[in-house]
Amino acid sequence: MWNSPKVGILGGGQLGRMLVESANRLNIQTNILDADNSPAKQISAHDGHVTGSFKEPDAVRKLAETCDVITAEIEHVDTYALEEVASKVRVEPSWQAIRTIQNKFNQKEHLRKYGIPMADHRELVNNTPEELAQIGEQLGYPMMLKSKTMAYDGRGNFRVNSKEDIPEALEALKDRPLYSEKWAYFKMELAVMVIKTKDDVLSYPTVETVQEDSICKLVYAPARNVPDAINQQAQALARKAVSAFEGKGAFGVEMFLLEDNSLMLCELASRIHNSGHWTIEGCALSQFDSHIRAILDLPIPPKSLELLQPSIMLNIIGGATPDSHLKATQAALSIPNASIHLYSKGAAKPGRKMGHVTVTAATMHEAETVIQPLVDVVDTMRA
Ligand code: ATP
Ligand code: MG
Ligand code: MG
């Protein structure tokens, strides 16, 4: 039996909150570093939490004093503080993995060495219109200008349709370190949750993700109308990409399925991920359960990562009015087999992830039929 380990978590948002839910069921104490009353702290009453930010070295040092292993629900953390505390406490995944992954350009440069297919891209050094125009000549239009750091939910991306868009694109992403990516003409976006343990690299089934305004809206598990061969290839690619990094835990891998059925990596995250929320209802072990087990070297039977029933996850996102998400939740209450997860993040803002709903059914077709009325409600509330 394990020795009542304490897990420190950098970040207490919804991902941290769902990690706490999993840890609680195993009597594992989680010490959260974030603001008081953050979503994860609200469901965890003990005095081991730390008030502050995962970007403050002092706060990270303080958290390290309280736990046996540190993990993170977000990649935008102070990895220099993590490097420092790694001599005293286990850090999972490794600070090196988080440091490389948190910079999307460095992440891609690293993965290139392992032969991972991805969109051709170029680094900007001066962020001048001339430089970007030259890159545009090389990559063609449209191209996606991206911030290397602090990117999430597409905030950090700008689609450059032609040379004329260059001034607007540079203005939108000004003062950020940039690179530009060749446009990926995908027919579908896929994602795979990978679990790295002390001796294995495991994966959940391949899912289909649907982004709206660059924010994840829907996840279909398994990916619809995707042959098993592609499902397996996507899992293999995701495991290969994650194997390029040191450390244990969950990694979310986003991919493009191109017209010719080839796969390309979009990006990966060194953490539990929105594309894996469906595993709470869809599998015997959720991504959160698996993450906690992986970082503590507890057994993870691979069979527990198999899909039990087709699942669809719909994000509840802040909409046109401050109560849009509550109206969506109200509608979800009447949907059969719908599990509702609200994150208790306080005030909604347009585009802010406030919760999610997962519907499971005997067939994907049935799940689609059952969730459609809720998708319709959500669509009328868009900001
Ligand atoms: P996340 O919230 O997943 O961390 P992010 O802000 O890091 O998002 P990306 O994942 O790089 O951003 O891109 C967001 C979305 O933009 C992708 O899911 C995809 O729909 C679209 N996108 C990104 N890169 C490209 C590309 N090269 N070509 C076409 N579409 C792209
Ligand atoms: Mg990202
Ligand atoms: Mg992404």
Q: Please, which residues have CB within 8 angstroms of residue 1's CB and are 6 or more apart in sequence?
A: none
Q: What is the pLDDT at residue 4? A: 80
pLDDT confidence bin for 383, thresholds 50/70/90: confident
Distance CA 296, CA 203 (A): 18
Fill in the DSSP letter of residue 163: G
Residue to probe by mutation, ligand 1, list 208, 266, 275, most atoms within 8 Å of CB? 266
Residue 17 token pair: 């909150």
- pLDDT-above-90 percentage for the chain: 95
Distance CA 130, CA 67 (A): 50
ipTM above 0.95, yes or no: yes
pLDDT of residue 41 exceeding 60: yes
The percent helix, strand, coil of the chain (3-state, each to 5) is: 35, 25, 40
Distance CA 312, CA 153 (A): 20
- What average pLDDT does the chain have? 97
291-296 mean pLDDT: 98
pLDDT of residue 207 exceeding 90: yes
Establish whether residue 197 lines the binding site of ligand 1, counting it when its CB lies within 6 angstroms of any ligand atom: no
Helical residues (DSSP H) of 197-227, grouped into ranges = none
356-383 mean pLDDT: 96
Establish whether residue 154 lines the binding site of ligand 1, counting it when its CB lies within 6 angstroms of any ligand atom: yes
For residue 190, give the ligand nearest its CA.
1
**pTM for the model:** 0.97
pLDDT confidence bin for 192, thresholds 50/70/90: very high
Q: How far is the CA of 266 from the centre of ligand 3 (A)?
A: 7
Q: How far is the CA of 4 from the centre of ligand 3 (A)?
A: 35
Q: Please, which residues have CB within 8 angstroms of residue 158's CB and are 6 or more apart in sequence?
A: 144, 145, 146, 165, 168, 169, 172, 173
Strands (E), 177-319: 178-182, 186-196, 201-203, 207-212, 215-221, 249-258, 263-269, 311-317
pLDDT confidence bin for 358, thresholds 50/70/90: very high
Q: How far is the CA of 189 from the centre of ligand 2 (A)?
A: 14
pLDDT confidence bin for 1, thresholds 50/70/90: low
Establish whether residue 13 lines the binding site of ligand 1, counting it when its CB lies within 6 angstroms of any ligand atom: no
pLDDT tens digits, 126-185: 999 999 999 999 999 999 999 999 999 889 999 999 999 999 999 999 999 999 999 999
Q: How far is the CA of 156 from the centre of ligand 2 (A)?
A: 9
Q: How far is the CA of 3 from the centre of ligand 2 (A)?
A: 35
Establish whether residue 101 lines the binding site of ligand 1, counting it when its CB lies within 6 angstroms of any ligand atom: no
Q: How many CB atoms lie within 10 A of CB 298?
A: 15
Q: What residues are paired with 191 via a beta bridge?
A: 207, 254
Establish whether residue 191 lines the binding site of ligand 1, counting it when its CB lies within 6 angstroms of any ligand atom: no
pLDDT of residue 2 exceeding 70: no
For ligand 1, atom 12, the nearest C-alpha belongs to 154
Q: Could you tell me whether strands 50-51 and 29-34 are parallel, antiparallel, or unpaired per DSSP bridges? A: parallel
Distance CA 287, CA 105 (A): 26
